[in-house]
Structure 1
């Protein structure tokens, strides 16, 4: 599936509420961020705490244009936690960290505007 990051992208095909519930989007807190120089596109390796039911998961995130590595630990982010893990170079990305493209196409992280418990599910 090709993702269109433009604000003028057409609306996706209609889905059912049951289809929506299949996508498990949770909140986690970034514990650690490291450079990922081996990635084809500039990215960081993130270690994210999703609470006791899901645990700690790894994610590759292409967010280097708008975030300094030192400002990421402690930040809450939303991620899809029920995709199969994806091999990116020598790194296994276990969750898809979510974001939106800004006017320049750089990724802005998607997060709650107030702190919520790690592992909270989007509904």
Structure 2
């Protein structure tokens, strides 16, 4: 499945509400952000705290164009927490950090407007 970054692209195929409920999207706070020079595409290694129910997870995020590494710790982000871990080079990414493409196609992180408890689920 290919996801389009084109804002004019038509919507994806229709799914049932039960399919949406299978995707567990939670908010967490970035604890640390480190360069990931070994990645094929520019990326940052994130350590994200999702609260007591999920705990601390690792993620590799291609967010280098819009998000200076020093601005990330303390920031809340949304992530899919129930995909299987994915090997990115020598790094195991445990969650998929979510974002949208800006006008140039670079990723902008997706997060709540105000602070919410870590581990809160999107509904």
State if a TM-score over 0.5 links the two structures: yes
Structure 1: unaligned runs, 5 residues or longer: none
Provide Cα deviations, 1:73-101, integer angstroms capped at 9, x if missing partner: 00000000000000000000000000000
Offset of residue 67 of structure 1: 0.8
SS in 2 for 1:70: helix
SS in 2 for 1:59: strand
Runs of 4+ in 1 over 2 A off after TM superposition: none
In the TM superposition, 1:11-90 aligns within 5 A as 11-90=11-90
Offset of residue 10 of structure 1: 1.1
> Structure 2 CA distance, aligned partners of 1:38 and 1:112?
30
> Structure 2 CA distance, aligned partners of 1:56 and 1:6?
32
Number of residue pairs matched?
123
Is 1:100 matched with 2:96?
no
> Structure 1 CA distance, aligned partners of 2:88 and 2:61?
11
Aligned-pair RMSD on alpha carbons? Answer: 0.4
Superposition TM-score, scaled by structure 1 size: 0.99
> Structure 2 CA distance, aligned partners of 1:43 and 1:30?
15
SS in 1 for 2:70: helix
Correspondence for 2:9: 9
Structure 2: unaligned runs, 5 residues or longer: none
